[in-house]
Structure 1
């Protein structure tokens, strides 16, 4: 949706003098870059599909060619019904090729053509099948005949591995919803939050928008669609040696990158048969956000052979390859240990340099242009921005500790912002390795969403623990190559004026960080196992618990955001589920009304849960409203049109922003066999100054981890208080169904 401005790259009006054409140079440039990138991806995928995975490497393709050749030449049977003879007639004659050779070559060409045609037919059929989303709306435990037939056909289509691994171009594009449907669902979503007078005003604004500029904006959106081609284990620390843990996990991350580059990662599958879009994985490595005075820019390199490392106020470049081969974990441990043992101190201005990435963007853009465009500063900054990712060897120790209150809160705050100068916030992600061997990651959000970094994180943790392993002493396995050159210390020449800019960014970032009230707690009373026995969706159960907790916390309802994936579509990212529905508010009010019976509360809960699941499915299948409304707003801005309705929509604060952290995307180990290997999940800050940010991870059958954030500066919020309300709301809803606590 960030590329919505591309739709208005071209603007024209008809005047008495003729056609007045206006071009947006930046929009045209971005449009051309996007189109070139899309076609480049298609060519690479076509090459991988047909040349590497399908023909001639596939045994079945050779069988077809051999059968066509043998049938035509030796058995005197023409399976082509004359096409082989026709091909032979048009082949150029050669004195090096006999008549029999011409016949064999013609049959081989016919077999090749049939095979490639079959592949294209299968790809087209797969694309058609992937447009069906009726399976998401089937009642639990009951499938219609149409869905059963579709599932059989999908399993047949996904049988061919090359088709499965080149599915990205087969996924349908995210549709542009009708304006009428979007407006209707929007009004439905805000009705529980507005009194009659305010709701009538919003209806008038919506009707005016629909009848005036909405059709024009919708046409531009359709035009645009034509152009578009976390934390460590909770309980387990495999090694307490900081350098060893860093060596193993960095090697595991690089193994993931290699599999990604080679197309060896099996896509995440819904129902085990529907591939989910994973195009964001391409931007995970070698990606940096560059500050600009008007807008930032994401820069992605084709490859990077080093990582940037920060420790005790100093920056290093650590090469990942030696003689073209990836360094082994024990070699990486040696290199990280050399950084830890380096007694030198930071250069002037170096220690807090990364605070520039945590402050305001315009001062950072100006400082970057003025102080980092030449000399050693330019070379060192390029080493960081061109790194595969950023690594922080943290001096602190964090993680879960028995009988230590607040340890997880401190762990979460450290990963969210650290000291405001020991994370490079512009890199795609920063790997944080603590002094006690615990891990974490700080991810920059513009390039991807949580499931993508979660995909990497699960692979890394599983590979580190179950494949690479450690010695009894906690070191990486193997013998180190002591002849490796040490990591390169980056050099800086930072003047006083730049130091002042760094200090200003640091003071601003520190004030923001100190205002974050972060609370992490484990809900151990029950998990998804008991919730499923209540015959409801675990996500709907938790979302309604959050609604009840918020009403008890503030005494009112608010606009509530839940992130939903749209990865059933090509290049899909997220959509919003507006969880505060009329059904949800009715259920919450019933819990506050002592006159309501348990049976009535159960009935209202069922209705609210079913409505939530419907909203979630609509969002996942391209029928959400918020991305559509946002794009319509962007269109109106670029066309210079004013819309009071859209201005009102975009100004509404999300006082309760929620998200579920996915897990078990790769199934590299069985949580039932290794229950102590559950993940803590991930979190984020509040969206509104007077609101809450809540992230949760359903970790196994009997554990749910919650991350609650707010701001100390708001007198209306308190993260620990809200956490207590969440816990009690979960217990109260479970009690409705006579389930043990």
Structure 2
């Protein structure tokens, strides 16, 4: 069955009723609001819902938007601009995601420098060529619509996001960015290689349209490395993609006006299927589990000062000198789950250390040069300062917990691993900060056409009651487990509602966007409205991730956390990021509280089990 063959059968994203959204919203603010705030907001909600009131007017306007939308009222009209492209902060740390991939099964212990340049190693080149080829295999299957349609118990999922990943680039614009238009399948027959801040166009097909073999790709990469000694190096333009979006828009506009060659080079980069980087840092980044992979996580998040990446590109494959592989991508065209699934497939086949070649005549990589002037140098210097500030402020790491995993959670705790881990995160935050936080968990709406996400509001009165009980030594284990199960049930119900397009956040956003000049309502102006949607704990779960060392993204707020997690059968991995400038947060400290939360939850669960069962589960 063709990858996109069921798209027309998927329903459109629904517009929930006003009553169900407002009721859900009021329940979600209970753990954050005082009794007086809650009563005041209930009165405002009643006024908002009254017949003929502003709420009904906004609802009718939103229904008209839905009627005019071909696929999805949110995605067609507002989503990418409001969620991503109008946000002007740098993509680095703030928006882009990263995945740290496991070592190749062929990974050597010693790394020989290439003959072309000792800054690069032969295995680094071989693995980069192999992974690029594996990804190209996948792209060919996708473009011929041979990728199976993903299914759940409720039916097929939307596959549209898979069409938004290859050849796709975000272009900075004043006030609101855009995605460069790319038809599906992309007509591009090349990738871009980044080495020493220089960019090369690398064809991946021969002149008679035959795909390279791994050995051919190695030859291409080595050829480009050799060219470094022969070309006139261009300024590190890639650094500009890491800057504030308005600053990059100004710098890019200056470049394209300065010389036509600059637009030509930019368009080659923007149309490329994806980017590959060979990083030449003098010392390989430490990937040390003893420090929770802190240095490697930082490399995934922002690299060596933002060098050797093109942050606007939807997909960057980055290889360090010791062959370690990081995937880094831009978030707006598709959610990180899609490239994660693809990368999980791509890294399964080991690198062939004696890869074959076609021996075909291959066009050499073409250096993409840029014409710059003093103004461009000022822009690059400013971008470097921005990157330095971002990097120094970003506190990130990977928390590995191998005392138990999803196997234990399912078999012994008898719980959904995702909901269980959400409660662990609630408890860890409560342990560290002493109060609850508005919490975002990604809820997928892919059962609808062009569906993206809805917010699952993890924080509830039930989750808060659970956290308080866990921290109270006078509460018995039976009561703690009872409250855990109640909190999990509440979370799962919200998660189900979100997946069905009936969370409160997207609907409330749509209603507010339908406000006309001069219109407002007290419900939206209440401090609790802003507080309940200021997600100090921003979380998202992927899958088991056995081929990943860890994943991550940045915190949404300077006093919050960003947390991406992988629920493996035996090991749980949490990619955590917060800001060094905040005195109350800290990734290492949070990791400690998270481990303790997971231990405390296990202790409570096992305390209520018969002794013979406790002995049996000790082996899990």
Q: TM-score, normalised by structure 2?
A: 0.85
User: 1:512 aligned to 390, 400, 411, which one?
Assistant: 390
User: 1:315 aligned to 199, 221, 225, which one?
Assistant: 199
C-alpha separation in 2, matches of 1:284 and 1:194: 41
C-alpha separation in 2, matches of 1:559 and 1:722: 17
Runs of 4+ residues deviating >4 angstroms: 345-349, 397-402
1:184 correspondence with 2:23: yes
1:420 correspondence with 2:306: yes
- Aligned pairs (5 A) from 1:467-478: 469-470=351-352, 474-475=353-354, 477-478=355-356
Query: Contact 1:234–1:400 (CA<8 Å) still a contact in 2?
Result: no
Is the alpha carbon distance of 1:576 and 1:614 closer, same or farther for their aligned partners in structure 2, counting shifts above 3 Å?
same
Partner of 1:437: 323
C-alpha separation in 2, matches of 1:458 and 1:327: 22
- Aligned pairs (5 A) from 1:520-669: 520-532=398-410, 533-636=412-515, 641-648=519-526, 649-650=529-530, 652-663=533-544
Query: Contact 1:306–1:388 (CA<8 Å) still a contact in 2?
Result: yes
C-alpha separation in 2, matches of 1:640 and 1:281: 41
SS in 2 for 1:287: coil
Partner of 2:143: 261
C-alpha separation in 1, matches of 2:32 and 2:388: 35
User: 1:713 aligned to 568, 574, 581, which one?
Assistant: 581
1:686 correspondence with 2:569: no
1:306 correspondence with 2:190: yes
Root mean square deviation of aligned Cα: 2.1
Q: What's the CA shift for 1:415?
A: 1.4
Q: What's the CA shift for 1:239?
A: 4.3
Partner of 1:328: 213
Is the alpha carbon distance of 1:259 and 1:169 closer, same or farther for their aligned partners in structure 2, counting shifts above 3 Å?
same
Partner of 1:275: 156
Higher relative contact order (CA 8 A, sep 6+): 2
C-alpha separation in 1, matches of 2:548 and 2:306: 25
Give deviations 1:18-75, integer Å, cap 9, x for gaps: xxxxxxxxxxxxxxxxxxxxxxxxxxxxxxxxxxxxxxxxxxxxxxxxxxxxxxxxxx
Query: Contact 1:519–1:720 (CA<8 Å) still a contact in 2?
Result: yes
User: 1:234 aligned to 92, 95, 102, which one?
Assistant: 102
Q: What's the CA shift for 1:398?
A: 5.5
C-alpha separation in 2, matches of 1:696 and 1:341: 40
Give deviations 1:435-482, integer Å, cap 9, x for gaps: 1112111111111101111122122113x33xxx41xxx24x213537
SS in 2 for 1:243: helix
SS in 2 for 1:238: coil
- Aligned pairs (5 A) from 1:353-364: 353-364=237-248
Higher helix share: 1
Query: Contact 1:661–1:696 (CA<8 Å) still a contact in 2?
Result: yes
C-alpha separation in 2, matches of 1:731 and 1:290: 46
C-alpha separation in 2, matches of 1:608 and 1:488: 57
Rg (Cα) greater in structure: 1
Q: What's the CA shift for 1:300?
A: 2.9
1:365 correspondence with 2:249: yes
SS in 1 for 2:173: coil
C-alpha separation in 2, matches of 1:263 and 1:647: 48
C-alpha separation in 2, matches of 1:379 and 1:226: 41
- Aligned pairs (5 A) from 1:386-465: 386-396=271-281, 401=287, 405-406=290-291, 408-418=293-303, 419-462=305-348, 464-465=349-350
Q: What's the CA shift for 1:312?
A: 0.9
SS in 1 for 2:30: helix
Is the alpha carbon distance of 1:540 and 1:346 closer, same or farther for their aligned partners in structure 2, counting shifts above 3 Å?
farther
SS in 2 for 1:197: helix
C-alpha separation in 2, matches of 1:341 and 1:480: 21
Query: Contact 1:347–1:492 (CA<8 Å) still a contact in 2?
Result: no
C-alpha separation in 2, matches of 1:237 and 1:408: 20
Query: Contact 1:314–1:346 (CA<8 Å) still a contact in 2?
Result: no
- Identify which range, 484-493 or 340-349, moves more after superposition: 340-349
Q: TM-score, normalised by structure 1?
A: 0.72
Partner of 1:734: 602
Partner of 2:14: 175
Query: Contact 1:400–1:407 (CA<8 Å) still a contact in 2?
Result: no
SS in 1 for 2:576: strand
Query: Contact 1:269–1:275 (CA<8 Å) still a contact in 2?
Result: yes
Where in structure 1 are there 5+ consecutive unaligned residues? 1-160, 665-676
Aligned residues: 555
C-alpha separation in 2, matches of 1:328 and 1:537: 43
Query: Contact 2:100–2:300 (CA<8 Å) still a contact in 1?
Result: no
Q: What's the CA shift for 1:345?
A: 7.9
Is the alpha carbon distance of 1:511 and 1:479 closer, same or farther for their aligned partners in structure 2, counting shifts above 3 Å?
same
C-alpha separation in 1, matches of 2:275 and 2:518: 41
Is the alpha carbon distance of 1:382 and 1:634 closer, same or farther for their aligned partners in structure 2, counting shifts above 3 Å?
same
